[in-house]
A and B are shown apart, each in its own frame.
Chain A
Amino acid sequence: EAEVAQSPRYKITEKSQAVAFWCDPISGHATLYWYRQILGQGPELLVQFQDESVVDDSQLPKDRFSAERLKGVDSTLKIQPAELGDSAMYLCASSADRSYEQYFGPGTRLTVT
């Protein structure tokens, strides 16, 4: 069964360092999402791509976060510089057009010290 792949699974970084997460969606899924899930809360959408274009990045802290999906397939989310409050699970999901069904990867748990 096809799955969304994410790496790394766990990342520990020091405050003010740069960190990057990678996501490979299910083959053929045009829409890709990055979510942030703070402990004890539900996921919050950071950015949504349709192919290589950004559809929604209204909740992305653009002063330190960036996301790209250059060829419309895999995607990278970057944080620079990391802050203590960025400690969270970062989830990637993908969906086929108009399916209203998002498939989630296992996530990357980030700890900022």
Chain B
Amino acid sequence: AQSVTQLGSHVSVSEGALVLLRCNYSSSVPPYLFWYVQYPNQGLQLLLKYTTGATLVKGINGFEAEFKKSETSFHLTKPSAHMSDAAEYFCAVSDLYNTDKLIFGTGTRLQVFP
């Protein structure tokens, strides 16, 4: 079965510092890949997605992620953290047989300090 591993349940950075949230997946076939953000007591919002084409994907709020097939990774980055980036971030992959079905990682909570 496919799975998603997010290394680090908590990440803390200073405002203005680089944000790096790690995501690795297990799949025999390159899946579709997603990053979602969740603010407290709210639903999830799509940050970016990779389906086909360019492996470097740009999303909303200055985030981007790169699909690396050889490393089975899809790490999320942002050059300069802002206080408003503090939230829970989830990496997800599409199911092999039902590409509409998402399999989520356990999430990474990002804290941003002034």
B111 interface contact, C-beta 8 A: no
Give every chain A residue within 8 A of B34 (Cβ-Cβ). Answer: 100
B28 interface contact, C-beta 8 A: no
Beta-carbon contact of A104 and B100 below 8 Å: no
B43 interface contact, C-beta 8 A: yes
- A/B pair count, beta carbons within 8 Å: 57
Q: Select one of A56, A91, A95 contacting B44, CB under 8 A.
A: A91
Bound Cα distance from A48 to B36, whole angstroms? 19
A80 interface contact, C-beta 8 A: no
Q: Return the 10 tightest CB-CB contacts between A and B, nearest first.
A: A42-B104, A104-B43, A104-B44, A106-B43, A105-B43, A42-B90, A43-B104, A42-B106, A42-B105, A107-B43
Report which B residues bind A (CB closer than 8 A).
4, 32, 34, 36, 41-46, 49, 51, 90, 92, 94, 98-102, 104-107
